[in-house]
Amino acid sequence: MPEPLVIVAALAVLGVLVILMIGIGGFARDGEFNRRHGNRLMRWRIIAQAGAVALILLFVAARQHGAF
């Protein structure tokens, strides 16, 4: 069974993917949705991506110190 931190990190990566796909879809249509929410979605993507990277690094650090 995978460690809980791996599951949380994987969910965070999937969250980044969902936000990215919504942003790309809005950008491709180039309509009102993109004008209203494009920048906000990309800011949320950066925040979510930073969180996902931090969780992955936390898992790697814990693995090296024998916590898992």
Does residue 35 or residue 51 have the better pLDDT?
51
> Tokens at residue 24, please?
């790309």
pTM of the model: 0.81
Cα–Cα–Cα angle for 52, 2, 54, rounded to 5 degrees: 15
Structural domain harbouring 62: 39-67
For residues 14, 2, 63, 49, the Cα torsion angle rounded to the nearest 10 degrees is 10
Q: Please name the residues in contact with 52: beta carbons below 8 A apart, sequence gap of 6 or more.
A: 9, 12, 13, 15, 16
For the chain, how many structural domains are there in total?
Answer: 1
* Domain annotation covers residue 10: no
pLDDT at 65 over 90: no
* Residue from 38, 11, 12 nearest 24 by CA: 38
* Domain annotation covers residue 44: yes
Return the pLDDT at 22.
92
* Domain annotation covers residue 49: yes
Return the pLDDT at 44.
94
